[in-house]
Amino acid sequence: MCKLGLKVNHKDPILLNNIVFAYFVTGKPEKAEYYLGQIMGLDWATLESEQVIMLTATLGLTQMRKGAITLGKDFYLKALKLAKKLPNLYYRYMVIINFTRELLLAKDADMYEFKKEMDSLKIESHFTDCIFLRREVQKIAVPSSIK
């Protein structure tokens, strides 16, 4: 569906983001490389704040999944800082939840802090995708300690 949309608007940041995100979370990062290049070629100065947050968080995901944990965390923290400036809490919730998932999967020491923050979020009922995603992330086992 996203690829079809790109035929109409080949530089749509939301569609590009969704394709890259989907390929990485389904374990097919090699299929995302072309679209990741398209994201990097966008004129970020012309994008809406929400788009910058979403793309920055997805860059965090891609780096963490590639093993560049520190760089990935930097991207996620930048996305979170930007999201905290918006009155709409949706983007903040999504960044925290997705970041927490990546920290848990990487078994990074910061997972405890962000898992606690994620669990304490008071997510409004109309943000159904945030509620669903948080439930899925909460199913990931949290190690009692990091070796």
The pLDDT tens digits for 64-116 are: 999 999 999 999 999 999 999 999 999 999 999 999 999 999 999 999 999 99
The domain containing residue 7 runs over which residues? 2-138
Residue 147 confidence class, pLDDT cut points 50, 70, 90:
very low
pLDDT classification of 32: cutoffs 50, 70, 90: very high
* pLDDT number for residue 25: 94
Any domain includes 146: no
The answer to whether position 38 is within a domain reads yes
From the CB of residue 26, how many other CB atoms can be counted at a distance below 10 Å? 10
Q: Is residue 27 part of a domain?
A: yes
- Confirm if 28 and 21 have CB atoms less than 8 A apart: no
In a domain, 57, yes or no: yes
Q: Does the residue 145 lie in any domain?
A: no
The count of domains in the chain is 1
- Collect all residues with Cβ–Cβ distance below 8 Å to 93 and sequence separation of at least 6: 121, 123, 127, 130, 134
Confidence of residue 37 (pLDDT cuts 50, 70, 90): very high
Question: Is position 76 within any domain?
Answer: yes
Total-model pTM:
0.90
Residue 38, domain CATH: 1.25.40
